[in-house]
Structure 1
Amino acid sequence: MWPYFSIKALLIVVVALNPAAATAQSDTDANGGDIYPPLWDFAPENLLDFPVKDNKIVIYPWNYQERLGAYRSLLKASAKYFVAFGSQNSANILWGLPLQHGWQFRTGRLADPTSGTSCGHGNLCISVRSWWSCMNYYLSIIPFLGAVEAGLFGEVQYEVEMLPPEDRRDDFCYSVADCRSRIPKLMDEWKSSSFVLDDALHHMWKAHVASVAYALKYLADPEANFGEDWANGVDFIAATHFSTDLQTTNNFQAFLPQRMLVEEDVLPSISGFSSQQNKVLLSLRALNKANRLTGMSPPEEARADDLTLSFSSLPRNFKNEH
């Protein structure tokens, strides 16, 4: 049974992220911006919008626009399953994935945190040195390849292949066959064919938790602390089957930090952050600390079986390498 302060922290997060907690118009998010991720209209929408070389559809997922295109084509291919739940595919629960990717891009979290390269600093490059971008690889390319394997895109006449980054090539897989051989259980998590809405949310969050568990960590404090708090919080939020449709996710992201955290940021009064943003960050921190102190785990339904690892058990190599 969870201790009282763990439950209270979780409730603060969930209540704060409730759709009713933020006011949003149909074409704007809770911050007054476009509801779609940056450059959404310029991202590839279909598999054949990507280049074809040597009888392979080739995607370079270390470019923001191309990774976003993988999401966009996935949203379009899965739209038929959500027609009954809302117009213009707005009820599609996969919206949470590209919207998180857009938030990461907009807030500088896909850039090289070491400043050893210009990657992500004023360009579309996604840095392999960013923890957020590495984690997001498992929340973009794995669902995408899982969908290809499951036949969501119909008959695909070409093999689909991801181009590797310049560094840390061994940390990722690049095709259906490659990922199937290296991480079969994670691929299975993203092949769920259940589209009863609550069942779909259950499978989506289960796969999400499993993907986060596979991610790498290359951050410097205090952003590293937020990343770890967020990763822990995902386990618990998953238990609520929190809806990740277009509007709900936009409302939710209004309470996430709109820039990278720095040493001068001290909770619960980070300058420039709203009181709700400070409250959510503080609650995620409290939830993570309570989880560590008590050794408690999230509910079984929120865990991805033996794929779900505690982030505290992974090597803490957040520190800059240069």
Structure 2
Amino acid sequence: MSGRYSEHDHEHYERPRRRTRPRTKERPRYDDAQDGVVVTVDRGRFTLVVDGTRVLAMKSRPLGRKGVVVGDRVRVVGDTSGSEGALARIVEVAERETVLRRTADDDDPVERIIVANATQLAVVTALADPEPRPGLIDRALVAAYDAGLQPLLCLTKADLAAPDTLLATYRSLGVPWVVTRRGGDLAELRERLAGRVSVLVGHSGVGKSTLVNALVPEAHRDVGLVNAVTGRGRHTSTSALMLALPGGGFIVDTPGIRSFGLAHVRPEHLIEAFPDLDEMTEDCPRGCTHGADEPECGLDQAVLEGQADPDRVTSFRRLLAARYAAY
């Protein structure tokens, strides 16, 4: 017998042919699918809220490598009873209205989506223990403006230090803020969060989990301590978790971060978040970055003519520099 294999080799026998099933362009309609929202992701399993019920689901094969993240609005089929052992399938992911991203470093080409469909980014910063780090605040603000989210500065531990110095840095940007203290009244913060989907980001130890437990008592998020030697907190949250607020709206608690890479942000788009400054750059030379070292930037002329607030221009340029400099 000629050929590579003899009749005694198992490779000789005909293998099942590929694509034996008829191909079709018709896709399942999933008329019986239900709407849900992804509230947390854990090792390839997704916890959803479907009609008020927490449902465990997996991603269906047709979605391929399409990522599913916290905040995604999805359609699911299968067992959505939420009972023990039940597992549903995510079959569709709705188009996202907003996407909050970050990269590990400024030169990291891989984007990491933190949450989808949020409306507000609350940057949680302690006034002391640990000391505030304006670099991270600036970077988080850049990410918020790039994603089209309303920024909110949430200052914690006001019983340990006064907020005036830090707030002076951001007043010219028009960033809304709220100050909290241990055991204090959170009415103002609740008002800022009501009716929104707010993402809480910040360093470990700044009090995010403490705030979450106060806002949503049944959350039971672990609370960590700040290391007295390094001045840094211990990670207590390992994955993002979306929680419903009693008064309406949602918060997304995220793991503490040590850096906020902005490789995904195009610097020329940052000024679009400041319409008043953007219109003052119409006569800038082609290729102007609007940075402090640009010789003929329209922002400088606007400051000289009294049309622009110099503190606001300085603050904008600080954010612009944060996009370029490694944190």
Fold in common (TM above 0.5): no
**Which has the larger share of helix?**
1
Per residue, is there more strand in 1 or in 2?
2
Larger radius of gyration: 2
Q: Which has the higher contact order (CA 8 A, sep 6+)?
A: 1
Question: Please, what TM-score do these two structures have when normalized by structure 2?
Answer: 0.25
